A and B are shown apart, each in its own frame.
Chain A
């Protein structure tokens, strides 16, 4: 392997020397041309140019070679007697010695500069990669996110196509889950068997993929199986190149593993695994609670509505009242279950707004329709202009937020009092506000009403509720890019709760309406 490395270095130097020779020849031709045309005789200094170029491009060996060639060419072509290496004028000899000294110093300086430039450029690239990598890790939520971040990071570090396969931990289909791009089947098979048996084998196995490309399959780190397996495309390289690549891969992977360990990736992966399991459990629970609780409710409510219309019960006012109780209590239970489900959905980050262009008037009307029964005892005053802008939101979520606010207003204000609903657009925002003449808020209560399970102590004994309503409303509004606020002049003086939503201009071509008239 070392032979291969030396061979490569030698080849690079020889190439530099060859190019230097050409450069010096070109310079000689140029000086010759100048002497012939203009008659200037002192051109030796011009040989510093090839020295400088060689030093910055091909390194110190080429630079020194250029200096020597320059001396020889000067002596041979330009100093008397011409076309011989003999120099008659001692002045010229001093010039040449000076030239050699300058050339050596310049070539040293230039090569050092070149090396430093390369190092700092590489360092900058490394830093940028690392920064991008850690930023992706910070937002990565599940194992797949982390893995694709690692995969991309390794791809950048190796400058080769890299496919990462998860560790044996979730081997049940885990390896296949990732599409892994254009990884040939033979390599995938090797990965499978590697997962099964020889995971500690750090040297790895080279597999010939399709169209003559070689792939290296190995564990990312022998110490941390969480990081999984890696397959690297070596391309169509000769054996020597592959050996050199292997050394680079070893170094790069050692670096990368150190980075991964420093960033606590193993821990993050394990945590993500656990999180996804918890999420699955929670979703299953939500689904089954929803079904198990609501199916009997549907029967209870349905049966109660049939009973209330049954001819046999007409005229039995007391019995009808009982039936009505069954019905309204079932409806309340249904609302409570819905609130619990919504709350669970919010905490598991499960709200995905289905935004569309919606008319705020439609949203308010639907919410009012839904709360008609609950607000029947109140005077509801609606105040909205007929030219409200459209808003781009999930109308169902906003409606549900409004329903919670209406419910709240009806619950905490006396029957017969007024509930005013207003909508207005101002400064690029749509404001839907609901004012009641009810219990109001104390200064302490104001910031607390948005909290989960917040219940005003003043009302705990007299009014039922879970304390989830406004928290849910707030979350639904936030999911639509809006915010909520509450204002009250004090206890007993009523409160105004408002939803603020962003308004972006809808482009409705006016001519659509008139084009065909």
Chain B
């Protein structure tokens, strides 16, 4: 039986979607920890780290949007074949 390989674009999309999930988990981890922190310096550090993860999410989402835009164009050119 022939195994159909996913296209490069689909593979990258899967990687990006997975990466966003992991970044979201990291964001939640730091944010929830900040809620439990008692010292202001610790709270600030954890919130800074959470913001850092958020910026990663935004960057990855930009890549997803870019990839989707190109995939739509490719589909239009090839008729989805």
Tell whether A and B belong to one assembly.
no
Q: Which B residues are within 8 Å of any A CB, using their own CB?
A: none
Name A's B-contacting residues (CB within 8 A): none
